[in-house]
């Protein structure tokens, strides 16, 4: 899917109760904003503009750390102003597709976007929508008399909403300055554009009131899955004065021999992370026949695997790595290894385990012909 995206995250969320603006609040372990950003990027967004309050750049950096292809734009006094700020910040052509999404709808998924883009093919705009199922009542006051409103033909519009960039900008240019549209589709409709409906989803709920967050926390578990990957690597010992293990250089009377820096720990962990995605092994991404990887630091490989996980909207839950060798002794360097792995993966130290064992003189590691490493990784990914 080829599209650009704007996430509107400039509101104060005053109706959501105490706890700060809702786009920065925690939802199942990560900020509300990150859920949508991860999903849009994982679906292939060419670029992403996040519209935020002018004083919230640090919050955005923290919420979106590690994600690619995003930038920010300043929010305006109204949602319409914020949307236009985001649209103008896009580096895209007039005929390119842009999706406008509310940060407060965290559970957007790839199948929502596919249906939306299909609907846009024959229209000027497309909106995911649900038919109104409940009986509608109108009351002038909270405790006053009510009138039943016919619900036939009524739909609940959701986001993201899809348009071609130039057409949406032109529609906004015609919108009356003294009026506030309820969504971007209304702007396109007022300009004479045809807006098509795609299949909405109750999962595209908007977080508005305090009770919405309790429901979202329950739904978040159903919207994610856990994957486990395993990696194994071994290298032969050769002449040298130091060895790289888990991103840490250790003085030693031998070194490991390989096309790159032969860091078996990082290689095994890279394969474990790739395994969680079903993305083959390290050789598929960094072929040993390619001269550009000769002597390369293996942290490049690990960061690549972690980036693939982030781009798919995932996060590393924990990693567990075991080094198998008689020498060098690993325990004096284990803490430095854990710290380096946590830094490379962007996780907390408690999520990283490094262990070592010997084979009591048995086999090629016991005879000190080589060193082996095995790793297990657990990640969380969108369903």
The model's pLDDT over 186-241, given as tens digits with 9 standing for 90+, comes to 999 999 999 999 999 999 999 988 888 888 887 877 667 899 999 999 999 999 99
CB 129 within 8 A of CB 200: yes
- Which of 186, 201, 222 is the endpoint of a domain? 222
pLDDT, one tens digit per residue, over 260-269 is 999 999 999 9
CATH number for the domain that contains residue 349: 3.30.1330.50
**CA distances, 301 to each of 35, 101, 171, 190, 338 (Å):** 26, 33, 46, 51, 17
Among the candidates 205, 222, 239, a domain finishes at: 222
In the block, which residue shows the tokens 């009356």?
176
Do 236 and 258 belong together in one domain?
Answer: yes
Region for 311 from its dihedrals, namely left if φ exceeds 0, alpha if ψ lies in -120 to 50, beta otherwise: alpha
Note the pLDDT tens digit of each residue in 332-376.
999 999 999 999 999 999 999 999 999 999 999 999 999 999 999
Which of the listed residues 197, 222, 247 is the one where a domain comes to its end?
222
Q: For tokens 């009377």, what's the residue?
A: 253
211 and 229 fall within a common domain: no
Q: Are residues 215 and 247 in the same domain?
A: no
Are residues 270 and 217 part of one domain?
no
What's the CATH code of the domain at 57? 3.90.550.10
Q: Exposed (0-12), middle (13-18) or buried (19+): which is 54, by Cβ within 10 Å?
A: exposed
pLDDT of 252: 97
254 and 214 in a single domain? The answer is no
Residue 352: in which H helix or E strand, if any? strand 352-357
Instruction: Say whether both 229 and 200 belong to one domain.
Output: no
Round to whole Å and give the CA distance between 17 and 13: 8
Could you tell me the residue range of the domain that residue 180 belongs to? 4-222
Average pLDDT over residues 132-145: 84
177 and 40 together in one domain: yes
On the CB side of 241, CA atoms within 13 Å amount to: 0
At 134, is the secondary structure helix, strand, or coil? Answer: coil
Is the pLDDT at 4 greater than 60? The verdict is yes
Q: Contact 88/71 with Cβ under 8 angstroms?
A: no
**Which tokens is 15 given?**
């109706």
Residue 296's φ and ψ, nearest 5 degrees, are -70, 145
19: left (phi over 0), alpha (psi -120 to 50) or beta: left
For residues 120 and 260, state if they share a domain.
no
Torsion of CA 74, 75, 76, 78, to 10 degrees: 170
One domain, residues 109 and 183: yes
pLDDT interval class at 14 (50, 70, 90): very low
| Separation of first and last alpha carbons in the chain | 18
pLDDT in tens, 91-127: 999 999 999 999 999 999 999 999 999 999 999 999 9
**Residue 287 and residue 310 share a domain:** yes
Do 131 and 267 reside in the same domain of the chain? no
- Domain co-membership, 72 together with 190: yes
Rounded to the nearest integer, the mean pLDDT of the chain is 93
Cβ(74)–Cβ(60) below 8 Å: no
Which pLDDT value is given to residue 220? 79
- Burial environment of residue 122 by CB neighbours within 10 A (0 to 12, 13 to 18, 19 or more): exposed
What pTM was estimated for this model as a whole? 0.65
Q: Which of 56-60, 82-86, 210-214 has the lowest mean pLDDT?
A: 210-214
Other CB atoms within a 10 A radius of the CB of residue 363 amount to 12
Q: What one-character-per-residue DSSP string does 91-134 give?
A: ---TTSEEEEEETT-TT--HHHHHHHHHHHTTSSEEEEEEE--S
Q: Which residue has the higher pLDDT, 319 or 211?
A: 319
More confident call, 41 vs 11: 41
Residues in the chain: 383
Domain count, the chain: 2
Distance in angstroms (rounded) separating the CA atoms of residues 243 and 309: 28
């Amino acid at each position: 899917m080829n599209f650009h995206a704007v996430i509107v995250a400039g509101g104060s969320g005053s109706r959501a109760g105490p706890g700060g603006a809702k786009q920065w609040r925690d939802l199942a372990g990560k900020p509300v904003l990150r859920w949508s950003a991860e999903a849009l990027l994982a679906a292939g967004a060419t670029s992403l503009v996040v519209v935020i309050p002018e004083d919230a750049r640090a919050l955005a950096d923290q919420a979106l750390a590690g994600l690619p292809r995003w930038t920010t734009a300043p929010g305006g006094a109204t949602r319409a102003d914020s949307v236009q700020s985001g649209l103008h910040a896009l580096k895209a052509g007039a005929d390119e597709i842009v999706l406008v999404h509310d940060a407060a709808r965290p559970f957007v998924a790839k199948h929502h976007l596919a249906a939306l883009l299909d609907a846009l093919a024959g229209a000027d705009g497309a909106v995911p929508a649900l038919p109104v199922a409940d009986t509608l009542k109108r009351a002038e006051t909270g405790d006053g008399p009510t009138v039943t409103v016919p619900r036939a033909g009524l739909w609940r519009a959701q986001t993201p909403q899809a348009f071609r960039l130039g057409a949406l900008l032109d529609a906004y240019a015609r919108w009356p300055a003294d009026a506030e549209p309820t969504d971007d589709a209304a702007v396109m409709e007022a300009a004479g554009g045809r807006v098509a409906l795609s299949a909405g989803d109750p999962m595209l709920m908007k977080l508005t009131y305090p009770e919405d967050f309790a429901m979202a926390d329950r739904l978040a578990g159903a919207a994610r899955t856990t994957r486990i990957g395993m990696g194994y690597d071994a290298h032969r010992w050769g002449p040298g004065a130091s060895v790289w293990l888990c991103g840490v250089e250790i003085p030693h009377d031998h070194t490991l021999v390989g096309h790159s820096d032969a860091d078996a720990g990082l290689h095994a962990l890279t394969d474990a992370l790739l395994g969680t995605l079903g993305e083959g092994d390290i050789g598929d991404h960094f072929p040993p026949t390619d001269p550009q990887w000769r002597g390369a630091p293996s942290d490049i490989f690990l960061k690549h695997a972690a980036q693939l996980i982030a781009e798919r909207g995932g996060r590393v839950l924990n990693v567990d790595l075991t080094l198998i060798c008689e020498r060098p002794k690993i325990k004096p360097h284990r803490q430095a290894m854990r710290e380096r792995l946590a830094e490379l993966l962007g996780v907390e130290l408690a999520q990283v385990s490094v262990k070592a064992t010997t084979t009591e003189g048995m086999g090629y590691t016991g005879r000190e012909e080589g060193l082996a490493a095995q790793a297990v990784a657990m990640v969380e990914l969108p369903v």
